[in-house]
Chain A
């Protein structure tokens, strides 16, 4: 099915099951420990050998020699895989660094060997006996130091540089100006389940149980890496303990499990240990961002410019921090520029809302700063500069843009009008109290997505798609979609996900998953409805699917009966036309935060949080809310504590475990409110839904930063905002 014209009324609009807060189908499995994760697929492989990854001890250079003698003879060892004996390996389309290093070393903890043994403990002990001599080379590890060597780099969906009007002239002429530089550090995905895979060979066929967000990309990349045909590789990933973008690609665990299984002649499982994950895999790259805004005295933006610098390994991508600035506010004269320097740190890549998340952390502080310079309320300033068209291409309208409504509703709910706009004025016990807000913005990409649906003679519909559920609720919304389309209750739907034997889906990434994958299921269900109607001799446009029956005129047949002995199967793919080009499709929101800053120690604690989101039709308000509160939590982490600290001499992330890389704990997160605007976006898909999982993180950090400023009068432009950045500048304790 092709989605080329705005959606009209369709069975989803009945909203009997879609739009209801159904409990997560996978919830009982997860809470009872019966959802099988990759590392524990002993239901398929009774006794796999265990692989342990050896990571490089240097960041750049080469291996002069490797002595495996002691490791090979250690107890239980079955095989050791290194670049020397692995055979020819290619680099996947989505990898910048090779997954098995040697002799060249591209980054710290790059895998250089896999030790396979009977038990995990034996593999780990033997891995520690591998002796490696390195020749170190100088590398670049300090973004600030190499930033000026950065080259123009294309960002997702755009060129390196954009320019409209005369930015320089308009900025110079503007009576009110802001020119400020912001930094965001490297961030780790830090999901609960580590990268883990179990691999087994059957002749020339490979099967890998793994933890992966994008099955089809990864089948392709694993096949390419190993130099084998794609149809000989099968990936299975039904349950994923979080990914946040860190599992969009094949990582060392999957490739080394395959190589280890080949070398050992039996199935092998490999999980990255927690201390290995931070430097071995990928992270959200640090950014340096310069933002310039010029405005008239009454608050109209006349010039807006955003430059972003980031670094990556050679061949890597930039962090597209300027992305939101291209679209969020009006202004006749504008520019963005993206520069990418070479850094020899581990590979930088996508993490939840790549581009917008760090970009909005900077932009939305800048807007707050500018509002203050203008003496305007920050919401009023944003309203004054709202745009209903793409400001770079005014002929392109937004499909739907209720940013002002989000801010208004939020202001109301949060008692924004009671905020004291003068910073450093409100005291509650030990704390200086402040309130801040920021807009939320994230684009709404769509991706081709397929599904197969089978109606059986019990009246049960089985949905199969290689779509993944990374903890987001995919199982549930797909079941809701099929139930709504077929007129069945939820318990008559079985959803099977995450298997490359199933039709190729959108996968989970870029907040396109929910809208795109349910659209694929919608398409398959439309076909199934047609097949059922045809079989019964009904006119398919008139057939009504409800209460487990299909009706036409005064005939009514139970679906189970319609299916017949052999059932009916339908498969389709939803493909998206150019509505996304004709209309700018984005999601919007507003974040409101109250913080308390200890007047003596400058400890910062969030006291209240609210997000108002406009993300099209909300397919399941319960799972959508979970997505948003999780994203708000991650945003609070980015604002207040998350930072991969770089050792700029040795070139690695030093705090490579969860004791050193702090993410919020329960005590850091107060009550969180989430409100969804009741809306649909017919330009987006037949579901009229959009993404929400990434919208929720965009702007949170800035809302917190702005609240801290309101509490203390101290403007911090370098994240994370830790107490040491406030301490010396706190207002006098009353």
Chain B
């Protein structure tokens, strides 16, 4: 770990301004991802801005009947919130499928969205990795890639985004609210929040440098059966091989987002038109341009079968 300076910000605007002022500054929330990465010198911020006391830890109703989730709301609290459990069940279930109780007690909404990949080569500073060190190459291509992306990857990077929460938020059409260094607020639809790797895998979101997440808003509840199914080798405390977030309405229409398959939560709205024709038809559209490695080709069949099980559960 490199030495760094530390400050505690007192308002969102002040935090964003401070981030712009100091070169190499980063926000720290629960620290469950950032601190690990700093110890390994994968992240080397020169300055940390502690955002834990910004008062962004509330869940409040919005004017249009949705919910506004503060950036600092802990994963545990979000999953347990009565309104979330009632109206956004897919989100509560996704959160509880992630990490462990202790981690969820610390992990925040914004931190979860911004957690970095679990590609093992990203974690080993001896290995080439374009995401960690742009231009150094990608050790996962042609290497150990069972966990990696099957769609939307590039020649620069085949990593996945590991969040469960984000997959549910994608299905719910959430919006990320931010504040920039100049104090201007922004609303970013979740669909545009995470990026595909392209030739710059180190750029993972559409946030500008120093931009602070203040909240995530959930639109008015859409009802339906809300299911989150996470498939993994170990029963708990493991990242998804494939996960499915689904909202299925009584008439058979609905929404589907996949986790564990791409550099971002994977949702193709057009594929949802196939829902009445079943899981095979949906995944055929959803994963039409998939380019798996020989180690993770099984994820295509797994996604189809998992979705099949989810749809059966929704019907049942």
Using CB atoms and an 8 Å cutoff, list the residues of chain A in contact with chain B.
Answer: 57-58, 75, 121, 124-125, 128, 275, 430, 598, 600-603, 605, 640-641, 645-647, 649-650, 654-657, 659-660, 662, 664-668, 720, 722-724, 727-728
Interchain nearest-CB distance for B50 vs A (Å) = 19
Residues of A within 8 A of B298 (CB): 723-724, 727-728
A146 vs B2: C-alpha distance in the bound complex, in angstroms? 42
Contact of A722 among B126, B143, B233 (CB under 8 A): B233
User: Which partner residue on chain A sits nearest B299 by CB separation?
Assistant: A724
Interchain nearest-CB distance for A596 vs B (Å) = 11
Q: Which of B14-22, B149-157, B193-201, B301-309 contacts A (4 or more CB under 8 A)?
A: B301-309
What 0/1 pattern do residues 18 to 34 of B give for CB contact below 8 A with A?
00000000000000000
Contact of B302 among A75, A601, A656 (CB under 8 A): A601
Most buried by B among A605, A664, A723, A728: A723
Interchain nearest-CB distance for A81 vs B (Å) = 20
B237 lies within 8 A of A601 (CB)? no
Count of chain A to chain B residue pairs whose CB atoms are closer than 8 Å in the complex:
95
B144 lies within 8 A of A645 (CB)? yes
What 0/1 pattern do residues 30 to 53 of B give for CB contact below 8 A with A?
000000000111000000000000
A667 lies within 8 A of B143 (CB)? no
B40 lies within 8 A of A275 (CB)? yes
Take A645-B144, A657-B123 as given contacts and tell me if A724 and B302 are in contact as well, using a CB distance cutoff of 8 Å: yes
B302 lies within 8 A of A605 (CB)? no
19 A/B residue pairs, CB under 8 Å, sorted by A? A58-B126, A121-B1, A124-B1, A128-B41, A275-B123, A430-B309, A600-B309, A600-B312, A645-B146, A655-B120, A659-B118, A659-B239, A660-B120, A662-B233, A662-B238, A722-B233, A723-B302, A724-B298, A727-B302
Residues of B235-283 whose CB lies within 8 A of A = 235-239, 241
A649 vs B127: C-alpha distance in the bound complex, in angstroms? 11
A660 vs B237: C-alpha distance in the bound complex, in angstroms? 11
Residues of B within 8 A of A662 (CB): 233-234, 238
A75 vs B2: C-alpha distance in the bound complex, in angstroms? 11
B233 lies within 8 A of A601 (CB)? no
A647 lies within 8 A of B144 (CB)? yes
Contact of A667 among B41, B123, B236, B306 (CB under 8 A): B236
User: Which partner residue on chain A sits nearest B41 by CB separation?
Assistant: A128
Contact of A664 among B231, B234, B308 (CB under 8 A): B234
Using CB atoms and an 8 Å cutoff, list the residues of chain B in contact with chain A.
Answer: 1-3, 39-41, 118, 120-121, 123-124, 126-127, 139, 142-144, 146, 231-239, 241, 298, 301-302, 305-306, 308-309, 312
B301 lies within 8 A of A655 (CB)? no
B118 lies within 8 A of A665 (CB)? no
B236 lies within 8 A of A668 (CB)? yes
Interchain nearest-CB distance for B46 vs A (Å) = 13
A647 lies within 8 A of B1 (CB)? no
User: Which partner residue on chain A sits nearest B100 by CB separation?
Assistant: A665
A657 vs B118: C-alpha distance in the bound complex, in angstroms? 11
B1 lies within 8 A of A649 (CB)? no
B121 lies within 8 A of A654 (CB)? yes
A727 vs B233: C-alpha distance in the bound complex, in angstroms? 13
Residues of A within 8 A of B3 (CB): 75, 125
A383 vs B23: C-alpha distance in the bound complex, in angstroms? 74
Residues of B within 8 A of A666 (CB): 236
Interchain nearest-CB distance for A102 vs B (Å) = 16
